[in-house]
A and B are shown apart, each in its own frame.
Chain A
Amino acid sequence: MDILQQLSEILQKGDADKVSELTKNAIANKLGPKVILDDGLIAGMAIVGEKFKAHEIFLPDVLLAAKAMYAGMDLLKPLLIKEGIPTIGKVVIGTVQGDLHDIGKNLVGIMLKGAGFEVIDLGNDVPPEEFIESAQREGAQVIGMSALLTTTMPVMKKVIDMTKECGIYERIKIVVGGAPLSAEYAQEIGAHAYCFDALKAVECVKGYIGVN
């Protein structure tokens, strides 16, 4: 089997050690880091995302696959930087202030990284200012916000209002998600998109950044 195909399949099984070993092999075989990333790791993670969406696999499988993906990415990152290959885009994500639920947000982070984006994860209970400061400092194209509680959803509007006040609303896209949200609510508060799940988030971000 093709080594990249093998890498994708081992990643799907969540075997971090084996992914690390195969990535090293691929690098030793003079496959470029971008090819290993795209056709090995990202290809594998895309299948994990699809299977999770189809309920064929569950959260534990995704988390193990993500660990395996990171094991490979850690080896590729210095090479990608050395060759001057940029990430396809930068996204700042976090669970809004007052909310400690991060499973959904973490899944979005995993899937975005798995699609090749650079993700700045601010964690949970993130104050509105921090989203703004981080997005400006990092030059992120997208801010992603998550909330699981009906009581913390209004914080999203606060963040969006702040992006308008400081003049970045026009050039930054804001995507929101979380169990109690709806497309109507997202529209009402001025978000650019409501993402029902992590794959939808990836699709939206890809659309905004102009990759397919």
Chain B
Amino acid sequence: MRALLDRIKEHEVLVGDGAMGTMLFSKGLKTGECPERMNLDLPEVLEEIAKLYLEAGADIIQTNTFGGSPLKLSQYSLDAKTEEINVNAVSAVRKVVGERAYVSASCGPCGRLLKPYGDVNPEEVSAGFERQLRAVVAAGVDMICVETMTDLTEATLAIKAAKSVSPTIPVCATMTFDPTPNGFFTIMGVSIKQASKGLAEAGADIIGSNCGNGIENMIKIAVEFRKHTPLPLIIQSNAGLPEMKGGVPVYPETPQFMAEQSRKLLDCGVNIIGGCCGTTPAHIAAIRKMVDKFNKS
């Protein structure tokens, strides 16, 4: 398999996968259960999901390790199983995709706020990310995706942990922004300009945004990122914001709508397009089709 960053350098646009959480729920995850517990109990479910996204045409398949840092797992008293949880997740995806797609280790927030806003020390957060990422690297991931961050310091710690565990594996880092009358900011007050600078300085190879917004806001976010960074960009949008219909959440953006809109992401120089909450293999398949046309042109 050719190196991911080389393909981006040669102007190929890559396709990421879609939502994990909603897929897990549809396959038996119970409310309140630790999503990463599936990695211990039902790794075959992870294989099924990876297969669906691979068949939809994703070039990059994420592992079910979003909450796989020991700090986060400790909320479910599963921190002692950090290694097993992370290794199983990587193995399940690799088993399905082989060398047909890149296996990307998801690494979400640790779930605690750093001092002085919260109660946790940066050393503890770093050590946690290192432990998680050492496990996924040992299991053979192709890239690491630090995602859904809102605190730039925490994002920085995760990126540095990834680079300390492996200086060569590409690291992607995304943050989640909210629209405000003064532009986009994370809930912790990080602007896109600050994110562009901070994530790059920490050593990220690919930067961008995921979650929190539908595709239309994501286009604005991408435009803003492009103003501030020469690095490859990744955008993983929600399928809109959920609306409750008869007690069931419905994500309003259809595969076709997202794919059409995603064309605009390519115009502003986005290099990887995937999906977040509410996106399905059908969304990824539609985006794949659109991206294929672009790559050929």
Within 8 Å of chain B (Cβ to Cβ): is A100?
A: yes
Within 8 Å of chain A (Cβ to Cβ): is B252?
A: no
Within 8 Å of chain B (Cβ to Cβ): is A74?
A: no
Q: In the assembled complex, which residues on chain A have CB atoms less than 8 Å from the CB atom of B186?
A: 58
- Which of A54, A155, A180 is in CB contact (< 8 Å) with B242? A180
Within 8 Å of chain A (Cβ to Cβ): is B181?
A: yes
Q: Are A180 and B244 in contact, with the CB atoms below 8 A?
A: yes
Within 8 Å of chain B (Cβ to Cβ): is A9?
A: no
A interface list, Cβ under 8 A from B:
54-55, 57-61, 63-64, 67, 97-100, 103, 125, 149-155, 180-182, 184-185, 188
- Distance (whole angstroms) from the CB of A95 to the closest CB of chain B: 11
Contacts A58-B188, A63-B113, A125-B32; A150 near B182 (Cβ below 8 A): no
B contact patch SS: loop
Q: Are B31 and A98 in contact, with the CB atoms below 8 A?
A: yes
Contacts A64-B116, A100-B111; A182 near B32 (Cβ below 8 A): no
Cross-chain pair count, CB within 8 angstroms: 55
Q: CA A154 – CA B244 in complex, angstroms?
A: 11
Q: CA A58 – CA B116 in complex, angstroms?
A: 14
Q: In the assembled complex, which residues on chain B have CB atoms less than 8 Å from the CB atom of A54?
A: 181
Q: Are B31 and A58 in contact, with the CB atoms below 8 A?
A: no
Q: Are A152 and B117 in contact, with the CB atoms below 8 A?
A: no
In the complex, residue of chain A having the shortest beta-carbon distance to the beta carbon of B29: A151
Q: In the assembled complex, which residues on chain B have CB atoms less than 8 Å from the CB atom of A154?
A: 247
- Distance (whole angstroms) from the CB of B214 to the closest CB of chain A: 14
- Distance (whole angstroms) from the CB of B185 to the closest CB of chain A: 7
Residue pairs across A and B with Cβ atoms less than 8 A apart, 17 shown, are A58-B187, A58-B188, A58-B189, A59-B117, A59-B189, A60-B117, A60-B188, A61-B189, A64-B117, A98-B33, A100-B75, A125-B32, A150-B244, A151-B25, A152-B31, A181-B244, A182-B243
Contacts A58-B188, A97-B32, A100-B75; A184 near B118 (Cβ below 8 A): no
Within 8 Å of chain A (Cβ to Cβ): is B180?
A: yes
Q: In the assembled complex, which residues on chain B have CB atoms less than 8 Å from the CB atom of A152?
A: 31-32
- Distance (whole angstroms) from the CB of A19 to the closest CB of chain B: 14
In the complex, residue of chain B having the shortest beta-carbon distance to the beta carbon of A54: B181
Q: CA A199 – CA B118 in complex, angstroms?
A: 22
- Which of A63, A97, A98, A149 is in CB contact (< 8 Å) with B118? A63
Q: Are A180 and B32 in contact, with the CB atoms below 8 A?
A: no
Within 8 Å of chain A (Cβ to Cβ): is B249?
A: yes
Given contacts A55-B180, A59-B117, A60-B189, 15 further A-B contacts (CB under 8 A): A54-B181, A55-B181, A55-B182, A55-B185, A58-B186, A58-B188, A60-B188, A61-B189, A64-B116, A98-B32, A99-B32, A103-B187, A180-B244, A182-B243, A184-B244
Q: CA A46 – CA B219 in complex, angstroms?
A: 35
In the complex, residue of chain B having the shortest beta-carbon distance to the beta carbon of A102: B111
